[in-house]
Amino acid sequence: MNSKLKRLKEYLRKLKKVVVAYSGGVDSSFLLKVAFNTLGKENVIAVIGISPTYPIEERKFAENFCKKIGVKFIKIKTDEFENKNFVSNTPERCYWCKKELFSKMEEIRKKINFAYIIDGTNKDDENDYRPGEKAKKIYNVISPLKECGFRKKEIRKLSKMMKLPTWNKPQMACLASRIPYGEKITKRKLKKIETGEKFLYSLGFRMVRIRDYNGLVRIEVDKDEIKKIIKFKDKIINELKNLGYKYITLDLEGYRTGSMNEVLKKR
């Protein structure tokens, strides 16, 4: 890990001035902190997206993290809901969302005359279906963590050593990823999902996903917490039905990254 960290710092020094796509997650927080420590305050700026696909609590965390370490940040409102290709929710949804974000980041990069846009993609991300990678090529977005061979476990361990509050933070993903391909994405659905997940986290679950199938919801939690769902069964049913779900189901396989993409693998 130490050799990879050294390689990452050397890699960042070659980039000189960077705009960081910052979500407040484990990977981008680690990358932002290392970039800030390596390149200095004047050569790093974080960009935080404002969108219905991005939970409010996550945005607040990201802003507070930037303030705490002293890095400059800019908030930008993205307009993916103006794009029918995103709203219709095809398997290329992530591409349109990332294209919208990176296009606005590119405007900022040019305006401040920085060299590159970088993001927190790591080596493990190659194992999932990620059409957003195509958008990165358009704007020459670089992924230093992936280029230096970092895996999630290593990022968490180094984050803990650096005393970053994100070292054990649950993995986060765009709220639109909770809606099956082909089902229209609406702001109302995203708000329901955000509210439902926030409630489940308040019950003490470490990792939560609410998969929205219109009137039906599929809950994912870590496998070792599946039995815990029964303890709060009545509260969960009451809360989610109040949100408008008619059927409340539990995925017995538990949480796993990219479960919505499993349907693509079977085609």
Strands, sheet with 18-21, edge to edge from the N-terminal-most edge strand: 72-77, 44-50, 18-21, 116-118
In the numeric block, the tokens 């996903």 are attached to 209
Per-domain residue ranges for the chain? 2-161, 175-265
Q: Is the pTM of this model over 0.95?
A: no
Of the candidates 95, 172, 193, the one whose C-alpha atom is nearest the C-alpha of residue 137 is 95
Strand, coil or helix: what is 170?
Answer: coil
Query: What is the pLDDT confidence band of residue 262, given thresholds at 50, 70 and 90?
Result: low
In the numeric block, the tokens 């054990």 are attached to 168
**Is residue 138 within 8 Å of residue 99, measured between CB atoms?**
yes
pLDDT digits (tens, 9 = 90+) for 166-185: 999 988 889 999 999 999 99
Cα 263 to Cα 61, 116, 142, 145, 256, distances in angstroms? 33, 35, 29, 29, 14
Tell me the C-alpha distance between 131 and 158, whole Å: 28
pLDDT digits (tens, 9 = 90+) for 52-65: 999 999 999 999 99
CATH classification for the domain delimited by 2-161, as one of 3.40.30.10, 3.40.50.620, 3.10.20.30, 3.20.20.70: 3.40.50.620
Considering the segment(s) 175-265 as one domain, its CATH architecture is 2-Layer Sandwich (3.30)
Q: Name the more confident of 231 and 265.
A: 231
- Number of Cβ within a 10 Å radius of residue 98: 25
